[in-house]
Amino acid sequence: MEYYNYLKSLHLIFVITWFAGLFYIVRLFVYQIEASEKPSLEKEILQEQFKIMSYRLWYIITWPSAILASFFAFWMLFFTEMGNAWLQMPWMHVKLGFVFLLYLYHLKCHQIFKQLQNNEVKHTGNFMRIWNEGATIILFAVVFLVILKNAVNWIFGVIGIFLFSILIMLGFKFYKRIRERNQS
């Protein structure tokens, strides 16, 4: 059991750093996109700095954290007695569905990262602000599933996530209005 707790601890540490990287990379996308709208010299300086910051964050923190979190998760699930028990539980199947969504989110972030590294701006800063909430929603869903583990409770938790998403969107619209007023 102690061996399992070490794996679980390492998994959790790398999940935290993975999410930290995902949260911050999208903020850097917002800054880089907004820098592309600046006058020429300022634009060039800012974009180069954001490219360096994004590159280091993405390849030194975010990707390694994703790989290590996955490695320790697979180890726990497939090579321990506890993991075999968890795989029999319905909430774990739902959690793994959200983890799959997290991988898709991560890969889409990688695509956006590559575009911005090549000075291709295909999204707006506002789109990226909304996109940033995707990882938040997945994080909330997974934490509720892992903590509650009860079929009825996780259903309410997932419904709560969708309601939380609506609140985030309303908050975003409110924040956008404030920003537009302050820029006028």
Does residue 117 contact residue 54 with C-beta atoms inside 8 Å?
yes
Nearest to 144 by CA among 162, 130, 131: 162
Q: Is 110 annotated as a binding residue?
A: no
Question: Quick one: which of 145, 105, 97 has its CA closest to 22?
Answer: 105
Q: Is 11 labeled as ligand-binding?
A: yes
User: Distance between CA atoms of 30 and 93, rounded to whole angstroms?
Assistant: 34
Of 64, 67, 85, nearest in space to 76 by CA: 85
- Asked if 57 and 25 touch (Cβ cutoff 8 Å), the reply is yes
Lookup: tokens for 37: 């709208």
CB 17 within 8 A of CB 95: no
Annotated binding site for heme: 11, 95
Q: Where is the binding site, in residues?
A: 11, 95
